[in-house]
Amino acid sequence: MDPTHTPFPNPFWQALITEQSAIAIGCTLARRYPVDVIPFAALREPTQAAMKDLRDLLAAEESIYVTGDQLPETPGLKFLGHLPGWQMHFSEPIPPIAIEAPPITLLSAEDSPAMVTLTDAAFPGFFRNRTYTLGHYFGIHVDGILVAMAGERIAVPGYREISAVCTLPGHTGQGYAARLLRHILHFHADSGVRSFLHVAAANTRAIELYERLGFNKSLKITFNRFRRA
């Protein structure tokens, strides 16, 4: 890993107490994003008290994701499983951008329904009606249909996470994901921030793409899913 990059072992917490504190819901031990933004929360520390505060932030039967290892069992919270992943940081020269068709466009609030539809085809439930408010999202349209997109999710000082990298089935193999990633890397460089992302450890195809573009694995991270009873 490039020593100039700092891995974030508790990335959602760091975002919710800094760059995205204005939308944070919670207290000193547990915070979450609004339900219509993203289904993620964070703990200051993996303690029983923090888990109880997290439970109290959830509606009945609501499920949410929290990063961390060895989180304590908590009455009223049902553990639904975990997803091992990697945090990857960009540390190579930015790949050049070629002018290609169809063009990449900046998405807006009007595109939110199409963005939800597209991401539901890849990872249902992670992208919500107001996820787009977290940052800049870029897309590729074919015949008026949003077929590929990528954008920004969490933000910490000096860094932005690339997220929602997906392509509609039937349109894969066109290099859309790589084009969008290169576009965002240049956008981040022009904005004076560094790029990082999270990926499921089992998603070897995506990891190979990210490494080919200059991302390096910097930290193992576990996404845990809980539901309030």
**Residues 47-92 pLDDT 10s:** 999 999 999 999 999 999 999 999 999 999 999 999 999 999 999 8
To 10 degrees, the CA torsion angle through 12, 14, 19, 25?
Answer: 60
pLDDT tens digits for 62-73? 999 999 999 999
Tokens 């975002």, residue located: 15
pLDDT for the residue numbered 5: 61
- Domains in the chain (CATH in brackets) are 11-86 (no CATH), 87-218 (3.40.630.30)
3-state SS, residue 37: coil
pLDDT at 98 over 80: no
Radius of gyration of the chain (CA): 17
pLDDT tens digits for 116-142? 999 999 889 999 999 999 999 999 999
- Four-residue CA torsion sign, 207, 213, 216, 222: negative
According to DSSP, residue 59 is labeled: P
**Structure tokens of 101?**
């068709």
What phi and psi values does residue 169 have, to the nearest 5 degrees? -50, 140
pLDDT tens digits for 105-117? 999 999 999 999 9
